[in-house]
Structure 1
Amino acid sequence: MKRKISRSKTTIRRKPRKKTSFFTGKVRSYSIIAFFILLFLGVGYHYRNGLLYYLGFKSYKLQYEQAEAKRISDIRNYQVLEKHQGKAIGLDLSEYQGKIDWDLVQNIENDYPIEFVFIRATAGNDREDEQFEENWLGAKNRKMICGAYHYYRPNENSLEQAKLFIKTVKLRKGDLPPVLDIEKLPKGQSLDSLKIGLRRWLKAVEAHYKVKPIIYTGEKYYDDFLKEDFSDYLFWIANYNFYREKIEADWLFWQFTEKASVSGIKGNVDVNIFNGDVEQLRFITIE
């Protein structure tokens, strides 16, 4: 008879795991972060001269490029103005020019006298230009021929926009006709709908001031959307292209630059040429 061999179970005792403290892990993380910060600072300090040179060079390069662009713009401005000797020269302004020192506003690029100024009065159906009244009074005190313009928003009610302009602008004898500034295409409506809205604004404003408004727009916008359907209106065209050197025969005004310098005004200014002399300009003012 075989004996049963009894095997006693051996209990294996495992060493208890060391508990990792939350703070110990946090300290380790901070230590790693601190190490990389010190490494970064050390590398930066070691190469400080090279970095300063690089950053200085980049800053100088940016300043140089800006100065060069301004120099090229100034050259073109003088060329255009020289080609239009005898034409009336003027500005257009808005609140974006900030507060203007009208006592100093006299010449463009220090050589060409400012004969007229267009001032933004309103935008859309609810926006009055914050500097309109001050600019209007300042230009009047300088004996400039003044005109007011409205920035048209295609997706807002045209008659409400006309009412806002009429409420804001009081034109008198000797002022330029009101101007409709249209630059954007509508969203969610057709071009035909846009043109109907423009017509409504123009007709409402003409009925109030008893004078036909002028339309301001870019040359491409004019050619593509307005030239045929609004041929019964006079146009003020914006084109800053370097190749464009003379005003077109069918343009009443030409905004040829947005980067001119005028004493009393900080930053760049838009400059415009009237397609005639000062006496001819007075001929189109309100009687």
Structure 2
Amino acid sequence: MLVIGRLIRQTEINTIRRGDSMKLLGIDVSSYQGKPDWKKVSKTVEVAILRVHQKTGIDTSFEHNYKGATRNGVLVGVYKYSYAKTVAEAEKEADAVLAVLNNRHLDFPVFYDLEWDKQAALGKAAIASIAKAFLNKITKAGYKAGIYCNTNWYKNILDTKTLNYDYWIASYPYKDNGTVQERLKPSAGIGWQYSSKGTVEGISGPVDMNLFYTDYKLDKNNNSAESIPVTTTKTLWEKCAELMAAQTGYMEKATEAMLDDKTANAGSANYTKYARDVNSWGQPGCQGKPWCAEYQFWIDVLTFGLKKALAHMGGGFYNCEEITKHAKANGTWHKEPKLGALVIFRNGSHIERVTKVTITEIYTNGGNTSRTDKNVVIANGGMVCDKVYSRNCKDIDGYVWIDYETTADAASTATAKKLSKVRKFVGRVIANECLNVRSWAGTDNPKIKKYPVLNRNDLVDVCDTIEDSENEDWYYVRIANKYYGFVCAEYIARQ
């Protein structure tokens, strides 16, 4: 593999992050790159293919690279440059790789690096036998296997019909300047090595740059791998991004009239369709109040479903400070940005969602703000806008990371819309201690913030009944004629 090179330009990172075009930005490294600082590398790199073994033995940087990459959330695969001229030599190379891996987890395949000129002279049939010998041993050990080669090898030297594996193909110009040259993109393959002249923060010297078009999921018990497209992330993130794009330009209303129109009845009274819909889901909407957090909750519910949106933002989604507290308590609060994360500003005075991350900037979409120049935070500004901030902007408190690789739970939203708000009977709290009022049925859901607990003998309006995930009954109740929440039915007696 080539290891000479220079700058990867910021504009390239802008265009190839996972959320923008569903490509994974990757590098491949070996002892030539020394000992990278993987915490820094992980800020921009999503996949690392590590040289696992060289002609003289284990790559001297492999253990450092494997530990550093995996501990910092970088997806990991490995490669082995082949010097085999016979099937027996290929099998020995496979044994050497497996001995180093020692059943450890990989996210990406073991790639067999086929580019040695002395192999090219052997002919297609011999090369196919050598490759199969190596790759069969790898797959029998439970790993996904693939082939790395350049475009000449792929088109002219390898028998690709016989070697039916995932291909990672190198293709870049003679005057390689570190940028993506779309005209050179291979027509096949799950990965494209587009440059040998990149630099990445955390790595001293040049590094090969790659785009990968396939994500891999591994069975952690046996390391068996199945190649799958990046569809789960794509589906949820693209759904979220499309929702935000459709809302951009929405203006708050002077009254509760024409809430669904983007610009009609515009005013400064903080009336929105977002508060109306949140109320319809059985949650405490804040009609007529600042709505930046409520807008993000609305986006989250339509992306993930009500229950998961509550898990992301807590019962105080209408209050940015409460969202921060909830994230810190649940381990989702971070100082570094991530695509799709919620970003909190000015000690909890405003919230937006990250739509793009570069080395120096974040791009966002937010509600209840205004169009401004870079780094200008506007809270209670009156519309949905796209914004941009420096990553070191002094007004950024931190980020709430959200997992877009999960599955949506739209059923909870549909159920919420069916819940009645009409009183069926008056109930009295019979719990010996305080009774928690939850944002959804089940003890794993956060408490509502406006009225988080009830005391023994308090009276509530019981409006509906719903089962939690363990088939226990919960009442949907109204408190003080205006607050709605869920309480365990066991602790409510009919008055």
**TM > 0.5 fold call:** yes
Of 118, 136, 144, the match for 1:203: 136
- Report the alpha carbon displacement of residue 193 of structure 1 after superposing the two structures with TM: 2.6
Residue 126 (structure 2) aligns with: 193
Q: Which amino acid aligns with 1:239?
A: S
- Report the alpha carbon displacement of residue 167 of structure 1 after superposing the two structures with TM: 0.5
Cα gap change, 1:81/1:199 in structure 2, threshold over 3 Å: closer, same or farther? same
The secondary structure found in structure 2 opposite 1:104 is: helix
Distance 2:199 2:140 in 1: 37
With the length of structure 1 as denominator, give the TM-score of the two structures: 0.63
Distance 2:46 2:92 in 1: 32
Q: Which structure 1 residue ranges, 5 or more long, are not aligned?
A: 1-68, 108-112
Distance 2:10 2:203 in 1: 20
Contact 2:42 2:73 in 1 (8 A): no
Cα gap change, 1:231/1:187 in structure 2, threshold over 3 Å: closer, same or farther? closer
The secondary structure found in structure 2 opposite 1:186 is: helix
1:115 and 2:51 matched: no
Residue 20 (structure 1) aligns with: none
Contact 1:105 1:265 in 2 (8 A): yes
Contact 2:169 2:186 in 1 (8 A): no
Residue 68 (structure 2) aligns with: 138
Q: After superposition, where does 1:83-162 map in structure 2 within 5 Å?
A: 85-107=21-43, 113-124=44-55, 126-155=56-85, 157-162=89-94
Kindly provide the CA deviation profile for residues 237-261 of structure 1, in whole angstroms up to 9, marking residues without a partner as x.
Answer: 0011265446445210001011111
- Report the alpha carbon displacement of residue 264 of structure 1 after superposing the two structures with TM: 1.1
Contact 1:212 1:233 in 2 (8 A): no
Distance 1:122 1:115 in 2: 22
Please identify which structure carries the higher strand content.
2
The secondary structure found in structure 1 opposite 2:209 is: strand
Distance 2:12 2:130 in 1: 36
Contact 1:148 1:169 in 2 (8 A): no
Distance 2:54 2:78 in 1: 12
Distance 2:107 2:13 in 1: 28
Query: Percentage identity across aligned positions?
Result: 24
Moved >3 Å (runs of 4+): 73-82, 170-174, 227-231, 242-249, 282-287
Distance 1:123 1:217 in 2: 17
- Report the alpha carbon displacement of residue 102 of structure 1 after superposing the two structures with TM: 2.0
Cα gap change, 1:116/1:171 in structure 2, threshold over 3 Å: closer, same or farther? farther
Residue 110 (structure 1) aligns with: none
Q: Which amino acid aligns with 1:177?
A: P
Cα gap change, 1:282/1:137 in structure 2, threshold over 3 Å: closer, same or farther? same
Distance 2:95 2:154 in 1: 25
- Report the alpha carbon displacement of residue 78 of structure 1 after superposing the two structures with TM: 6.2
Cα gap change, 1:284/1:87 in structure 2, threshold over 3 Å: closer, same or farther? farther
Distance 1:246 1:80 in 2: 17
- Report the alpha carbon displacement of residue 127 of structure 1 after superposing the two structures with TM: 2.1
- Report the alpha carbon displacement of residue 200 of structure 1 after superposing the two structures with TM: 0.8
The secondary structure found in structure 1 opposite 2:172 is: coil
- Report the alpha carbon displacement of residue 99 of structure 1 after superposing the two structures with TM: 1.8
Of 173, 188, 205, the match for 1:267: 205
Higher relative contact order (CA 8 A, sep 6+): 1
Of residues 167-176 and 151-160 in structure 1, the stretch that sits farther from structure 2 once superposed is 167-176
Q: After superposition, where does 1:239-250 map in structure 2 within 5 Å?
A: 239-241=171-173, 244-245=182-183, 247-250=185-188
Q: Which amino acid aligns with 1:168?
A: V
The secondary structure found in structure 2 opposite 1:90 is: strand
Residue 148 (structure 2) aligns with: 216
The secondary structure found in structure 1 opposite 2:155 is: helix
Please identify which structure carries the higher helix content.
1
- Report the alpha carbon displacement of residue 231 of structure 1 after superposing the two structures with TM: 4.5
Give 1 or 2 for the bigger CA radius of gyration: 1
Cα gap change, 1:79/1:105 in structure 2, threshold over 3 Å: closer, same or farther? closer
Of 175, 178, 184, the match for 2:110: 178
Contact 1:154 1:184 in 2 (8 A): no
Contact 2:6 2:199 in 1 (8 A): no
Distance 2:46 2:10 in 1: 22
Cα gap change, 1:70/1:268 in structure 2, threshold over 3 Å: closer, same or farther? closer
Distance 1:207 1:106 in 2: 31
Cα gap change, 1:172/1:158 in structure 2, threshold over 3 Å: closer, same or farther? same
Contact 1:186 1:194 in 2 (8 A): no
- RMSD of aligned Cα (Å): 3.0
Of residues 148-157 and 218-227 in structure 1, the stretch that sits farther from structure 2 once superposed is 148-157
